[in-house]
Amino acid sequence: MDDKIDRNLRAMSVFGQDALQAAEQAIAASNHAPTTNALIHVAAACAVQTAAPQDDAVLLAQWFERYGAAHRTALRDAWWFYPLDRASAARHPARVAALLRSTHEPARTLGIELAGRCGMQACLPLISPIAGAAPDGPLLRASELALCRLGQAPGDLAARIQRRGSGTAEDLLHALRLIAASGHLDLAQLEGYLRCAQMPHPALQRLGWCLATLCDPVQAHHRAEAHAAMDPGLRLQVLALAGFPHALIAVAREVTSQTGPVTASQMDALSVLLGDVPMQVRANDVLPQEREQALRQRVLQVFRDAHIAVSNNAKTCAWEATRMPAEPDPARNRRLRFGRAARPREDRGCALQAPVQQLGSLMRQALYIEQSVQARQPVGAALSAYASTRHQMHVIGLSEWLGEAQAAPL
């Protein structure tokens, strides 16, 4: 879908101002909010493709003045994902810098967010003073996140996170986002992450569990198994991110024991643990015994490839962690990722691989955060699962290539 939109935007940009005038007429005639949002997104994206250099200084400010109050997300995503061509992309940081110099605080806040999400290092001199002097509020929080995404976290980041540790749910969520964006997992402790994971705020729960799992996979896995009230999809994400073999057995047991099709969260977990998921598991019109056989073959093959010994009756026994592996792993040192044994962090950890492209946004975001944590610096301007598809695929491909290069024998 993203490729189709990109092609259409390239075609529209050929018509220049005529395309923009037609888009503005359609916006004025629209009385359906989602359609209006989509039209504004496309028109704003086309504008940065077609604008003449002399119009750049005020281009984004004018668009934000017209539509920013009611359609901020449409504008933000348009300028986050576009422009496409090199000439317009080279001028884009100057346009965002013009937003940063605005006296209108919402416009400055958007400019800061764009600079951080797009990795615009040239905007750092404009953002750093704001992070140092602005009072607590949207402007300060946007600047702190932008600096973390740009790999230039404030020198007192630990103190800023600590100050918010006893605040509201939104304070805690912002603190966790700073940690996730910067990659500095050591700025908080496991119990702090787990405390956030137990709170009723959904976003705080998800990010708390993600960071707790990256901090201590064994403890997070144990807590998730014991937490009866935990959302089933979130539990599967934690088990998959932890990556222990008995988690794969548990997911396979769940999939093969149900009568309905595999859920999205189950498929995400299987993809993260197995890499290639058999077609019989993905399809809905497959006999249960065929699904069972195909999944068992794939699980046992992954165990063997990861040098995890299986019992003699593993082909026929129940899906039980006490029966399938030939020997226990009390220290939980064996972990799986994409059908292979996960490398420890000191060996550059887990690289992103092609199956990531098929995962849901929450699972992808957890893996992107893991990349920053392993590198102790932002990866891909603190890569987001909501960034443009082309950008995500570029980073996934680069990570996969680096992982293969680092794993190759010298």
Tens of pLDDT along the chain (410 residues)? 788 889 988 898 888 889 889 999 999 999 999 999 999 999 999 998 887 766 777 889 899 999 999 999 999 999 999 998 888 888 899 999 999 999 999 999 999 999 999 999 999 999 999 999 899 999 999 999 999 999 999 999 999 999 998 889 999 999 999 999 999 999 999 999 999 999 999 999 999 999 999 999 999 999 998 888 899 999 999 999 999 999 999 999 999 999 888 999 999 999 999 999 999 998 888 888 999 999 999 999 999 999 888 888 889 899 998 888 888 776 567 899 999 988 777 666 788 888 999 999 999 999 999 999 988 888 877 689 999 999 999 889 988 888 777 776 65
CA 123 to chain CA mean position, Å: 23
Cα(286)–Cα(299) distance, integer angstroms: 18
Helices 217-226 and 190-197: crossing angle, nearest 10°? 30
Instruction: Report the pLDDT value the prediction gives residue 331, as an integer from 0 to 100.
Output: 58
Taking each helix axis from N to C end, the angle separating 33-50 and 56-67, rounded to the nearest 10 degrees, works out to 170
Query: What is residue 5's predicted lDDT score, i.e. its pLDDT?
Result: 87
The per-residue pLDDT for 54 is 66
pLDDT of residue 333: 75
Q: Is the model's pTM score more than 0.75?
A: yes
Which residues make Cβ contacts (< 8 Å) with residue 51, sequence separation at least 6?
59, 88
**Rounded to a whole number, what is the distance in angstroms from the first to the last CA of the chain?**
41
Residue 348 to residue 115: CA distance in whole angstroms: 28
Task: Provide the Cα torsion 185, 188, 194, 196; round to 10°.
Answer: -100
189 closest CA partner among 168, 162, 152, 164: 162
